[in-house]
Amino acid sequence: MGKKRITSFIIFGISIIIFGIGFGHNLWSKIIEPQKTTERPIIISDIAPLKPLEEERVWFYHQKHTTELEASGCKVCHSYDTQKSRFDFRYPKNRPEKDRRDLIETYHNSCIGCHRERLSKGLSTGPTACGECHKPVLYQEWIKPVVFHYGLHYQHEKATDKKCELCHHIYDEKEKKLIYKQGTESSCRDCHRQSDEGNRNSFRKVAHSDCINCHLEKKEKKQKGGPTTCEGCHLDLKLPSIQEIAEIPRPDRKQPKTTNIKVDGAGMPAVFFDHQRHEMSSLTCRTCHHETLQACKNCHTSEGSPEGGGISLESAFHEKNSSLSCEGCHERQKAQEKCSGCHLGTRTQMEGRQQSCIVCHTGPIKELPPIPPLGAPEGIMPDNVKAEITINILEREYEPAKFPHLQIIKKLTEISNEDPLARQFHRQPTTICMGCHHHSPVEPKSSPPTCGNCHKATPDFDDLGKPRLMAAYHLQCLGCHQKMNLEQNCTVCHAKKTSVKPLISEKQKKSK
């Protein structure tokens, strides 16, 4: 008995050790939670003079430092100008930009010096050895770019009592100082570019110093202010939907509510442009105006000029592939789920632009004439619009498909009527029909050809581009269902038959 008990104890002990070695790593090792704000590193990017780097780049835990050193404030690391009461957020303090060696020394002395000092005082501290900072980090992107949309702009307008000069300025070449002039406001990025240019700091530098300094000032005065942490702007700010910020008043820069765009020497009639309406469907002015917030024709001349990037005024309005042009933006709206069924389907292949010119080129008018919503299809073609179509011509494996013709037209008409842009372009009630009846124009009071009129059951070997009937049905119906994210199961349209008649009967097989 005794021996048995000892052996069983030994076995038990060994198994515990094995278990411990095997799973211990997961059980007892520290698991890093990337959700923890202090564990999110930022890249030290202001190191242009140090490139190429000799060592592994340093990932800096800014949030960890700010929480630990909250009592001492930003002054510990960043220099403070008492006269202007502003922080200079460059690190380290008084950094020498010219000499590479000097800059490296200053970085090391500032970081490691502080860490050593805190270590000697017995306070919480950071690494002091090379490899502890210069090590690769599995970085997960968490910094989102800040979109300064109309909502945020309005919030700042209210907080500063419409003192535009607090942020907006231009540089006076004669006086050699920054002045504010009403009506010249543009995006910060207009002057402050990707990197420093002469006495103009980069956008990244000015955005951080101006925003945070102002926010800190408010915080010091115990007033309600903006965020002062990285996360506050770069993570927690949620982008509003177009509907949400449609109500918010737009920044006033003396822009016209409506205008007639007339180009001298152009053959086409003027375009009536509802500026206010278009402000409602964008997040920032930059959506259309680039950074300059200038009128299009100021840079884009009719011939194309270097200021306008060589792009003529005509293409600035009509270029389909640009997100800034009129037609490009309108084109992108077609990719919306609700529109894509018709617009990215069979129709795209034969879509003509010629008829849509006059929708925009109205000639000089004061107001757009109201466009009546598309009427109910029964009202226009009472005899021809079938409510339901049973497709049984190819029936074999599946029961006949019941196609809710009228219901689909009604739904598409409803979608079209809801969308202000679609309403402008879908003028005829039969426009909706064209989504499926793609080749032949649909006239009121006459039936369009059915699918089977053109698409035959057998393939046409002389015209391979035309799908045969079965494929035409599936490509059209399923294509739309795929793009509009609707049901795509076979049995949604046609139920499966329990017994299927084989194509070649048993008798025929035997005779063979």
Binding-site ranges for another protein (CB under 8 A):
348-349, 393-396, 457-459, 461, 464-465, 467-472, 474-475, 478, 488, 490, 503, 505
- CB-nearer residue toward another protein: 393 or 408: 393
Closest to 130 (Cα-Cα) out of 100, 104, 108, 103? 108
CB of 456 to another protein, least distance (A): 9
Residues 6+ apart with CB under 8 A from 74: 80, 87, 89, 216
- CB-nearer residue toward another protein: 70 or 462: 462
- CB-nearer residue toward another protein: 370 or 465: 465
- CB-nearer residue toward another protein: 243 or 354: 354
CB of 459 to another protein, least distance (A): 7
- CB-nearer residue toward another protein: 172 or 460: 460
Residue 218: how many other CB atoms lie within 10 Å? 15
CB of 346 to another protein, least distance (A): 11
Closest to 397 (Cα-Cα) out of 507, 486, 495? 495
CB of 479 to another protein, least distance (A): 9
User: What is the greatest pairwise CA distance in the chain?
Assistant: 112
| Chain-centroid distance, C-alpha 301 | 30
CB of 322 to another protein, least distance (A): 15
Spatial distance between the Cα atoms of 278 and 168, rounded to a whole number of angstroms:
24
Residues 6+ apart with CB under 8 A from 415: 338, 339, 422
- CB-nearer residue toward another protein: 160 or 488: 488
Residue-wise DSSP of 55-75: SPPPEE-HHHHHHHTTTT-GG
Residue-wise DSSP of 159-187: HTTT-GGGT--EEETTTTEEE--TT----
- CB-nearer residue toward another protein: 76 or 492: 492
Q: Which SS3 state, helix, strand or coil, does residue 10 take? A: helix
CB of 454 to another protein, least distance (A): 14
- Distances, alpha carbon 203 to alpha carbons 187, 197, 208, 323, 423, in Å: 10, 10, 8, 23, 41
CB of 130 to another protein, least distance (A): 40
- CB-nearer residue toward another protein: 1 or 464: 464
Spatial distance between the Cα atoms of 334 and 33, rounded to a whole number of angstroms:
42
Sequence-distant contacts of 443-449: CB under 8 A, at least 24 apart = 444/380, 444/381, 445/381, 445/383, 445/384, 446/384, 447/384
CB of 426 to another protein, least distance (A): 23
Closest to 369 (Cα-Cα) out of 263, 270, 274, 262? 274
- CB-nearer residue toward another protein: 110 or 482: 482
CB of 342 to another protein, least distance (A): 15
Spatial distance between the Cα atoms of 394 and 470, rounded to a whole number of angstroms:
7
Pairing of β 389-391 and β 401-403: antiparallel
| Contact criterion met (CB below 8 Å) for 204 and 212 | no
Q: Which SS3 state, helix, strand or coil, does residue 383 take? A: coil
Compute the half-sphere exposure of residue 281: CA atoms within 13 Å on the CB side of its CA.
13
CB of 504 to another protein, least distance (A): 9
- CB-nearer residue toward another protein: 67 or 505: 505
- CB-nearer residue toward another protein: 345 or 448: 345
CB of 398 to another protein, least distance (A): 10
CB of 352 to another protein, least distance (A): 13
The secondary element (H helix, E strand) that includes residue 258 is: strand 258-261
- CB-nearer residue toward another protein: 48 or 503: 503
Q: Which residues pair with 273 in a beta bridge?
A: 259
Q: Which residues pair with 42 in a beta bridge?
A: 60
